[in-house]
Chain A
Amino acid sequence: DIQMTQSPSSLSASVGDRVTITCRASQSISSFLNWYQQKAGKAPKLLIYAASSLQSGVPSRFSGSGSGTDFTLTISSLQPEDFATYYCQQSYSNTRTFGQGTKVEIK
């Protein structure tokens, strides 16, 4: 299995802050890395696919980068609606795996 490790597990930030979440794969996954946002009580929502491509309708303050084993999700200016849990997920292998999640909380 390909293991996905996110850091940090949680963070506190203020509206307007720049936020960065990292995701590391246990082996190279090229750019087969996706990011999801999940709000409490809701299904996850696809934000970014193929490491850096923005899903349709997702605000441009979200961006992704990386390839191989190390990836980053950046929120350039945190908005109130961005407080949520974020998950990375690899689609390199037919057996998909998620990171453990990063909870972004209000400071």
Chain B
Amino acid sequence: QVQLQESGPGLVKPSETLSLTCTVSGYSISSGYYWGWIRQPPGKGLEWIGSIYHSGSTYYNPSLKSRVSISVDTSKNHFSLKLSSVTAADTAVYYCARDNLGLLGYWGQGTLVTVSS
């Protein structure tokens, strides 16, 4: 059974960099698929942030592309998100998911990140 678990700080200061990791169990990232990040501000809808292939190829949301970096570490079977220069608008629940050509079939439980001083 594929499982994903997000981890990282729940509080980030404005202008700093948000960093999250998604650890995958039950499946080896190096075996294939894209792996993605999605966020959801409180009370709002879903926003796709970006996805990374096991080889390192990435696709990003154009509206976030200048601030986003997604990387993968196949030796640790995890992938990571960095979002720089955060503001209160980046406060959201951040989800990781397995991205099968756009089908997001497996999701983590989500982690709330609040941007506040």
Say whether A14 faces chain B, with CB atoms less than 8 Å apart: no
- Note all chain A residues with C-beta closer than 8 A to B104: 34, 36, 44, 46, 89, 96
Tell me which of B8-16, B18-26, B78-86, B95-103 binds A: B95-103
Complex Cα gap A96–B63 (Å): 12
Say whether A49 faces chain B, with CB atoms less than 8 Å apart: yes
Chain B contributes a number of interface residues (CB within 8 A of A) equal to 22
Say whether A81 faces chain B, with CB atoms less than 8 Å apart: no
Chain A contributes a number of interface residues (CB within 8 A of B) equal to 25
- Note all chain B residues with C-beta closer than 8 A to A49: 103
* A-B contact number at CB 8 A: 58
* Structural contact, A87 and B102, CB atoms closer than 8 A: no
Complex Cα gap A70–B109 (Å): 31
Say whether B107 faces chain A, with CB atoms less than 8 Å apart: yes
Candidates A44, A46, A95, A101; contact of B59 at CB < 8 Å:
A95
* Structural contact, B103 and A46, CB atoms closer than 8 A: yes
A contacts with B: majority SS? loop
Interface residues of A in 29-54 (CB under 8 A from B): 32, 34, 36, 38, 42-46, 49
* Given A91-B102, A94-B59, A95-B60, CB of A44 within 8 Å of CB of B45: no
- Note all chain A residues with C-beta closer than 8 A to B97: 43
- Note all chain B residues with C-beta closer than 8 A to A46: 103-105
Interface residues of A in 72-103 (CB under 8 A from B): 87, 89-92, 94-101
Task: Report A's interface with B, CB cutoff 8 A.
Answer: 1, 32, 34, 36, 38, 42-46, 49, 55, 87, 89-92, 94-101
Q: How far is the CB of B63 from chain A (nearest CB, A)?
A: 8
Complex Cα gap A97–B49 (Å): 9
* Structural contact, A98 and B48, CB atoms closer than 8 A: yes
Say whether B41 faces chain A, with CB atoms less than 8 Å apart: no
- Note all chain B residues with C-beta closer than 8 A to A94: 51, 59
- Note all chain B residues with C-beta closer than 8 A to A89: 46, 48, 102, 104
